[in-house]
Amino acid sequence: MTTILNPTITLLQTKIKKSPPYTHQHPHKTSAIRSSLFDEVENLTNRRKILVTTLLGGLGLNVACSPLKAQAEEFKWGTRSFIWERFFEPGLSPEDAVSRIKNTAEGLHSLRHMLETMSWRYVIFYIRLKQAYLKQDMKSAMIMVPEGRRDDYSNAANELVDNMAEFDYYVRTPKVYESYVSYEKTLKSIDNLLGFLA
């Protein structure tokens, strides 16, 4: 077997040795042009692929997020709504203020899961967001309360503000047991306040 391979190898070696040397000292410019054109075409197809992927991905996210948008519209709270309500709708009607206080109460009741998972940053964000316009809503909703119960309503509103400030403090520290206790106090005081508005 070695005898067959040896003559083949020697023939290849002689062909390599007998090939003429390169006559041109400069490389061909056409190959550089061809490769740059090929790179441009390849870049163009890559750009098209990226563009199509981005557009289809955006459409897919839009379809997937449509139930979330509907849910956000239902609750109507968040950073964008806070900015809108704070600067462009400063005076809400008493009925709207009462409904926003009820939405805040529902949101506070659903905050328990975040406390259990110790998501302190989200809890702080939510509390401060709600504190920002809850005082104004309580002032607007005072018109809905009968004259004889307004003193009790203002005491309940002050208690709610104090409890939310205490809750914010304990979440910032973060002290777990005290956070739960102040959270329960806040829930009790907001339910007491809603009793006046019902």
| pLDDT tens figures, 159-189 | 999 999 999 999 998 888 999 999 999 999 9
Q: Measure the CA–CA gap between 142 and 153, rounded to whole angstroms.
A: 8
Judgement on whether residues 174 and 152 belong to the same structural domain of the protein: yes
Model confidence band, residue 105 (pLDDT cutoffs 50, 70, 90): very high
- Say whether both 56 and 102 belong to one domain: no
In the chain, the number of structural domains is: 2
CA distance 21 to 3: 31
- Full-model pTM: 0.55
**Cα(183)–Cα(127) distance, rounded to whole angstroms?**
11
Distance CA 115, CA 177 (A): 10
Residue 176 lies in a domain: yes
Q: 98 and 70 in one domain?
A: no
In a domain, 92, yes or no: yes
Rounded Cα distance, 87 and 72, in Å: 20
The answer to the question of residue 177 being in a domain is yes
Same domain, 61 and 85: no
Q: What is the pLDDT of residues 108-154, one digit of tens each?
A: 999 999 999 988 899 999 999 888 888 888 888 888 888 899 999 99
Range of the domain at 50: 46-75
Instruction: With respect to residue 161, please indicate whether it lies within any of the assigned structural domains.
Output: yes
* pLDDT of amino acid 133: 82
d(CA 44, CA 55): 16
| Mean confidence (pLDDT) of the chain | 76
